[in-house]
């Protein structure tokens, strides 16, 4: 992971562990460092440890072992309200009996700021989320999207350097969620704040983040920028969890530098990049992204592998065609092709030849 480590750390987890019962570790030996101004997403299935990490950083949970550092200071024993961190949750957590302006002024009153400073900061924070005209309303008079904007403004109103967000868009519909994804990202970059964002939604993680930490079983499985995570998964879990992915099972027959030969369980032999295999004879899952597979004979380049395939299902999805195939004895092989005038439409039952470049094919752990 050291290649991904930023130069100077603003947020740092050093060998952090967390257990609730003294036996089972929900977070195992976490090392993670973030520079100032980074938008980092913790992504993973429920129970993977991502929210526990966020709660330890916020101060609502205590690390069983290790150090959590903020701007060079150990914050393990500093209570949440003294960490100066902004928080946004899925359930908004706005005070129902207060107006929008009063909700925003609350963190400023706690910090004993003068009335005039409070008013100025509240107005500025409302302006950031385009909600100035709602200052006098109560939360019950706002839609879900408006409430989430106010919750965001309240997290930003005291100008924290670090903002933590736990599934903040989970309760919103798809269109509104996408709008707010862009607004939050733009706002974070504009203000230069550091954001730790927790979600189980991979699209959200890929579109919003500078880097993504993929969690499973209490550990970071891979920490990388979104494009690297998608194009170069380091193990089978990441390949399956991020985006759609085809896997073919087989055995490594030969390893030669950055190429290996894999004999699939179907008997077919293919080339792949050896990413997470150690020796000849290892079982492997070979991973190929659906958009990297080609079936137009004139588009199959030199050095492309080809396998026979039977079309099982052809789905029109507007901008793309999604085709499910039977390949090497597997019925769940998917290819995605652009909806272009020259793109051939396939029919179930049709036999075709498919191919891909060896460098698009990664031999991962079984």
- Beta-bridge partners for 330: 327
Sign of the alpha-carbon torsion through 160, 166, 171, 172: positive
Q: How confident is the model at residue 84 (pLDDT cuts 50, 70, 90)?
A: confident
- Could you tell me if 4 and 21 are in contact, meaning their C-beta atoms sit under 8 angstroms apart? no
Residue whose tokens read 């973030």: 34
Stretch among 109-118, 239-248, 280-289 having the lowest mean pLDDT: 109-118
**What is this structure's pTM?**
0.87
Average pLDDT over residues 298-308: 73
Q: How far apart are CA 299 and CA 244, in angstroms?
A: 22
State the chain's mean pLDDT as an integer.
89
pLDDT tens sequence across 8-25: 889 999 999 999 998 899
Could you tell me which of 228, 166, 200 has the C-alpha nearest to residue 4? 228
Q: How confident is the model at residue 1 (pLDDT cuts 50, 70, 90)?
A: very low
Residues in CB range of 298: below 8 A, 6 or more apart: none
Residue whose tokens read 């579109």: 207
Q: How confident is the model at residue 2 (pLDDT cuts 50, 70, 90)?
A: very low
Q: How far apart are CA 125 and CA 117, in angstroms?
A: 12
CATH fold group of domain 244-365: OB fold (Dihydrolipoamide Acetyltransferase, E2P) (2.40.50)
What is the reported pLDDT for 242?
92
What is the reported pLDDT for 303?
63
Residues in CB range of 98: below 8 A, 6 or more apart: 106, 138
Positions of E strands within the chain? 11-19, 25-34, 39-43, 65-70, 73-74, 85-89, 162-166, 194-199, 211-216, 219-224, 246-256, 259-264, 269-274, 283-288, 305-316, 320-327, 330-338, 351-356, 361-365
Residue whose tokens read 């039952």: 349
- Beta-bridge partners for 262: 252, 270
pLDDT tops 90 at residue 173: no
- Could you tell me if 78 and 236 are in contact, meaning their C-beta atoms sit under 8 angstroms apart? no
pLDDT tops 70 at residue 301: no
CATH code: domain 2-236 is 3.40.50.300
Pairing of strands 194-199, 39-43: parallel
Residues in CB range of 239: below 8 A, 6 or more apart: 233, 245, 247, 285, 287, 362, 364
Q: How far apart are CA 311 and CA 64, in angstroms?
A: 53
Domain ranges of the chain: 2-236, 244-365
Residue whose tokens read 């980074």: 38
Task: Give residue 280's Cα distance to chain centre.
Answer: 33
State the DSSP H helix or E strand holding residue 359, giving kind and residue range, or none if neither: none
Q: How confident is the model at residue 7 (pLDDT cuts 50, 70, 90)?
A: low
């Amino acid at each position: 992971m050291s290649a991904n480590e930023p130069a100077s750390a603003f947020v740092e987890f050093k060998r952090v562990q967390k257990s609730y019962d003294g036996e089972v570790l929900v977070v195992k030996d976490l090392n993670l460092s973030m520079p100032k101004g980074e938008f980092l997403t913790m992504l993973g299935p429920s129970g993977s440890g991502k929210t526990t990490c966020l709660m330890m950083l916020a101060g609502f949970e205590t690390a069983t072992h290790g150090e959590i550092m903020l701007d060079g200071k150990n914050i393990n024993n500093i209570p949440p309200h003294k960490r100066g961190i902004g928080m946004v949750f899925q359930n908004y957590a706005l005070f129902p009996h207060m107006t929008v302006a009063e909700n925003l002024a609350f963190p400023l009153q706690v910090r004993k700021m003068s009335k005039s400073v409070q008013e100025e900061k509240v107005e500025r924070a409302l302006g950031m989320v385009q909600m100035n005209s709602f200052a006098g309303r109560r939360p019950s008079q706002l839609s879900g999207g408006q409430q989430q904007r106010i919750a965001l403004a309240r997290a930003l109103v005291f100008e924290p350097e670090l903002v933590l967000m736990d599934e903040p868009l989970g309760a919103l519909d798809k269109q509104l969620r996408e709008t707010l994804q862009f607004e939050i990202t733009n706002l974070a970059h504009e203000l230069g704040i550091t954001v730790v964002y927790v979600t189980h939604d991979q699209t959200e993680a890929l579109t919003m983040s500078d880097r993504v930490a993929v969690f499973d079983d209490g550990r970071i499985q891979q920490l990388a920028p979104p494009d690297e995570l998608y194009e170069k998964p380091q193990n089978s879990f990441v390949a399956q969890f991020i985006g759609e992915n085809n896997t073919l099972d087989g055995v490594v027959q030969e390893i030669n530098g950055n190429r290996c030969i894999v004999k699939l369980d179907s008997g077919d032999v293919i080339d792949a990049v050896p990413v997470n295999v150690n020796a000849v004879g290892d079982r492997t899952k070979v991973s190929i992204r659906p958009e990297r597979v080609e079936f137009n004979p004139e588009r199959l380049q030199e050095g492309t592998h080809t396998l026979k395939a039977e079309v099982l299902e052809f789905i029109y999805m507007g901008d793309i065609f999604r085709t499910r195939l039977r390949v090497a004895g597997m019925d769940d092989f998917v290819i995605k092709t652009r909806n272009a005038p020259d793109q051939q439409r396939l029919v179930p039952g049709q036999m075709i030849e498919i191919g891909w470049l060896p460098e698009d094919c990664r031999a991962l752990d079984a």
